[in-house]
Structure 1
Amino acid sequence: MLQPAFEACDSDDVTEVMDLADEGRSVLIDTRSEHGATLPVRCLFQELGTSAGLVSRVSTTNALMGSQEAQEGSFTYTWSYHPDTGLSMVVTEQSQPD
């Protein structure tokens, strides 16, 4: 589900901000404090059905809060924010038991 969501958000901006990793099980996000860089991230959140509460937590994180983590459905979100370097996040899809 993570890889199709990543591909649905594919645009010129995505390759600057997001990378698909771990054989499609992780998306690495680094906005580098670029203006407009959050658009691909918003698209990914929408495609994954990320809750408004979690989106709010991410958007209100500041540098003093350090690394944050949340589990939602089959996804783990780990992120930090600094005004000089922007949002750094890893979204990982947890393996489903056989």
Structure 2
Amino acid sequence: MAVAAIVVIGALVAFLALRDTSTRLEKAAKACSVSGVIDDEGHTLSLRRVAAKEDPGRVSLVDYECVLGELAVPRAVKDHMGSTRALDGTQTDEWDGLKARWTYHPDDGISMTITEN
């Protein structure tokens, strides 16, 4: 009985030590190989100057698309993002416990912050 208890406790400790406690935003950034974009203990992901004409940010358009895919952004939200004009100002949308806030300008590219509640 004592041996069984030790085995169970050992398995539980190993499970707790090995489980991935990353947030969805951290997992998306890691899957897309983007660094320096996570803040607030994994609850904020910031993408700056994506596809800017001059001085683009460190996140490429391909990385941006990868992050949106990893976060399972619905088509309606992607359409909202893609139809944003510079004149529209700051836009927001939400899906599945995530909230995005972004701006777009042809010269400055896309700047977006995604937060997880």
For the criterion TM > 0.5, the same-fold answer is yes
Aligned residues: 88
Q: Which has the higher strand share?
A: 1
Please list every run of at least 4 consecutive aligned residues from structure 1 whose deviation after the TM superposition is greater than 6 angstroms. Answer: none
Find 1:54's aligned residue among 60, 70, 77.
77
TM-score by length of 1: 0.82
User: Once the 2 structures are TM-superposed, how far is the Cα of residue 22 of structure 1 from its aligned partner?
Assistant: 1.0
Which whole-Å CA distance do the structure 1 matches of 2:103 and 2:38 have between them? 19
- Map residues 12-27 of structure 1 onto 2, 5 A cutoff: 14-15=34-35, 19-27=37-45
| Conserved 8 A contact 2:85-2:105 | yes
AA of the residue aligned to 1:22: D
Deviations 1:37-70 (A, max 9, x none): 2111111111111001111111111100000001
Q: Is 1:28 equivalent to 2:46 in the alignment?
A: yes
> Secondary structure at the residue paired with 1:29?
strand
Which whole-Å CA distance do the structure 1 matches of 2:96 and 2:72 have between them? 10
Q: Is 1:5 equivalent to 2:28 in the alignment?
A: yes
Which whole-Å CA distance do the structure 1 matches of 2:39 and 2:46 have between them? 7
Which whole-Å CA distance do the structure 1 matches of 2:44 and 2:64 have between them? 14
Query: Which consecutive residues of structure 2, in runs of 5 or more, have no partner in the other structure?
Result: 1-23
Partner in structure 2 of residue 66 of structure 1: 89
TM-score by length of 2: 0.69
Query: Which consecutive residues of structure 1, in runs of 5 or more, have no partner in the other structure?
Result: none
